[in-house]
Amino acid sequence: MKSSDPQLQGKRNNQRPQTQRPADTQDDWWKYGVIYQVNVRSFFDANNDGVGDIKGLTAKLDYFVELGVAAIALTPVFTSPMSDFGFDVSDYYSLDPAFGDLDDFDALIREANKRGLRVLLDIVISHTSVQHPWFLESKQDRNNPKADWYVWADAQADGTVPNNWQTTFGHPAWSWSSTRGQYYLHNATSRQADLNFHNSEVIAEVLNILQFWLERGVAGFRLDCPNLYTHDKKLRNNPARRNMAAIPEEALINPFEYQLQIYNQNRPETLPTLARIRRLCDRYEAALLGSVTSSATFEMLNIYSGSQEGLQMANIYEALPSVCNLPGLVDVVRTFEENCDQVWPYWMLNNHDVARLVSRWEGDHDAPRLAAIVLALHLSLRGTPVLFQGDELGLEEAYIPFDNLCDPYGKLSWPQYMGRDGCRTPLPWDDNLPQAGFSTHKPWLPIDPRHLSHAINVQQKDPESVLRRVQRFIQWREEQPEILLGSMSIIHADASVLLLLRKHKGGRLLAAFNVSYEPAEIELNLPQPPEVLNGHGFAGELRDNRIYLPPYEAFFGRLP
């Protein structure tokens, strides 16, 4: 199954792009470069069938080069019945025909390499589609070769489900198979059966899959929910949460939130598997990002990514709340720094599972300016920034009428919860073209008319657009060792202003942000004022040892 083109084999991604970065940031690209999560389905549709594809992505690679990102991380592209839009895989060794084929993929890697861009894949291996041939075989009877590849359990004496586990989408995590006369476990929808990570053949196959794609030249993986890989063999009931008051009210519509997930996920048995995955990836100098979704994030971060045996980077799920504001974000940053100083995180303030940030941010705001200042803050945190497609345009959450809903989670919980389609709509390329230049065909999700004024062609013409500002900021960031590598502490924070200190070797960089429509001032009280840094595109000023921040502006200075 390997590529026959010798040029495509092995460690192709090791040439480093030309950069002005400080000398000590030339290794570990994944630590210093910005990563961009591409929602392939909605990026660009080259074959005009309404669904974005790999050829479309390849055609637009220069967009990423201009933006200045180091790598793109693709949402799942493997063959799938798409009941959860690729998070339900039925063949890990092929691309879904909607996205293209392996030749298209190889061409993507070749073209990306030419531009010094790395490509990461999203590996969803905690579960497969129920249409995967492994599951179809497994459910036949209790003795077939794949019988133990999934998590099967007998009904209780009264016929009910084996235990109290709930899916993340909010219903019992067990479904019945009449062929086998048993229940199978699914942490997501009933169309997504959980693989049995207690079975060594399953783990060997996971390593084969990863190696197949590493050989094709991918530079790393986002592992979808690695903390869900293993379940408790004894199938013990999860206990109820002790502190229900800590759960945001809107989450109470989901019974999953009522439990402490200690037996269906977050199992220590996952760690040896993760170590084997890491060893394989290290051979290819590939990066591992893990989307660790847990009610105990900070504890899990230390467990999953605090060592050479785990992920290089894990995300901080708390940074994606349903209602955002500066104090909430500062609280997450502070808790992270206090609890996880050995962990290198990746920060996402948006992703394919949550409503777009400018729509989640509390209060009335000038949305493009809010987007620009929050992006600057995001890109100034300790860790790897991962942008989600559309962040760079400051897109707001699209409105999707019920009849157009695609997301299975949304269909289940609408209208209390509108689902995840609103952040997954096609990227607006050109406000003058039908379907905003994404496709000539009706797209799989409608384009919100409000996105036209944010289209890429519009923003490219305006030096003060969110797109141009974030480009400028990414370029500037590349040359600031304290931001790329330094420690981080919070010097001052209030409802709308944050002052960070980033330190690296002898360098000390102050970064101040005003996330509000009112001007703000910060008294510095320093024996010597900082040297004012320019080139980042923000208009904060230093006067008499005070930082002046106009609305939605930032200031950067280096201390002597």
- Binding residues (CB under 6 A) for ligand NOJ: these are 84, 87, 124, 188, 192, 224-225, 291, 352-353
User: 224 vs 257, which CB is nearer to ligand NOJ?
Assistant: 224
The bridge status of strand 220-224 relative to strand 287-291 is parallel
User: 291 vs 350, which CB is nearer to ligand NOJ?
Assistant: 291
Question: How many of the other CB atoms lie within 10 Å of CB of 12?
Answer: 20
CA 299 → CA 59, 142, 227, 304, 305, distances in Å? 42, 38, 12, 9, 10
C-beta of 408: minimal distance to ligand NOJ in Å?
Answer: 8
User: 85 vs 183, which CB is nearer to ligand NOJ?
Assistant: 85
Pair of tokens at residue 525: 């009280």
Residue type, 88: D
DSSP assignment of 139-189, as one string? Answer: TT-SSSTTTTSB-EEPPPTTS--SS--B-TTSSBSEEEETTTTEEEE-SS-
Strands (E), 192-344: 192-194, 220-224, 287-291, 313-315
N-to-C CA span, the chain: 57
In degrees, rounded to 5, the angle at the alpha carbon of residue 253 between the alpha carbons of residues 248 and 258 is 70
Q: Which residue is nearest to ligand NOJ (CB)?
A: 87
3-class DSSP state of 550: coil
DSSP state letter for 238 = P
The answer to whether residues 149 and 138 touch, using CB atoms and an 8 Å cutoff, is yes
Cα separation, 186 vs 167, whole angstroms: 7
In degrees, rounded to 5, the angle at the alpha carbon of residue 128 between the alpha carbons of residues 192 and 347 is 90
C-beta of 381: minimal distance to ligand NOJ in Å?
Answer: 21
C-beta of 370: minimal distance to ligand NOJ in Å?
Answer: 25
User: 194 vs 392, which CB is nearer to ligand NOJ?
Assistant: 194
Nearest to 394 by CA among 497, 467, 293: 467
User: 353 vs 553, which CB is nearer to ligand NOJ?
Assistant: 353
Pair of tokens at residue 551: 């609305």
Distance from chain centroid for Cα 205 = 24
C-beta of 409: minimal distance to ligand NOJ in Å?
Answer: 7
C-beta of 255: minimal distance to ligand NOJ in Å?
Answer: 17
User: 190 vs 514, which CB is nearer to ligand NOJ?
Assistant: 190
C-beta of 486: minimal distance to ligand NOJ in Å?
Answer: 30
C-beta of 186: minimal distance to ligand NOJ in Å?
Answer: 9
C-beta of 509: minimal distance to ligand NOJ in Å?
Answer: 33
User: 119 vs 423, which CB is nearer to ligand NOJ?
Assistant: 423
C-beta of 470: minimal distance to ligand NOJ in Å?
Answer: 24
Helix (H) or strand (E) holding 62: helix 61-67
Length of the chain: 560
C-beta of 224: minimal distance to ligand NOJ in Å?
Answer: 5
Residue type, 544: D
Cα separation, 312 vs 300, whole angstroms: 13
C-beta of 374: minimal distance to ligand NOJ in Å?
Answer: 21
User: 188 vs 219, which CB is nearer to ligand NOJ?
Assistant: 188
Pair of tokens at residue 183: 């229940």
DSSP assignment of 490-546, as one string? Answer: EEEE-SSEEEEEEEETTEEEEEEEE-SSS-EEEE---SSPPEEP-SS----EEETTE
C-beta of 497: minimal distance to ligand NOJ in Å?
Answer: 33
User: 173 vs 512, which CB is nearer to ligand NOJ?
Assistant: 173
C-beta of 407: minimal distance to ligand NOJ in Å?
Answer: 8
Cα separation, 449 vs 218, whole angstroms: 36
What residues contact residue 234 under an 8 Å CB cut-off, 6+ apart?
Answer: 263
User: 189 vs 516, which CB is nearer to ligand NOJ?
Assistant: 189
User: 165 vs 476, which CB is nearer to ligand NOJ?
Assistant: 165
Cα separation, 440 vs 124, whole angstroms: 31
Pair of tokens at residue 447: 């384009």
Residue type, 354: V
User: 41 vs 352, which CB is nearer to ligand NOJ?
Assistant: 352
User: 256 vs 429, which CB is nearer to ligand NOJ?
Assistant: 256
C-beta of 516: minimal distance to ligand NOJ in Å?
Answer: 31
User: 87 vs 165, which CB is nearer to ligand NOJ?
Assistant: 87
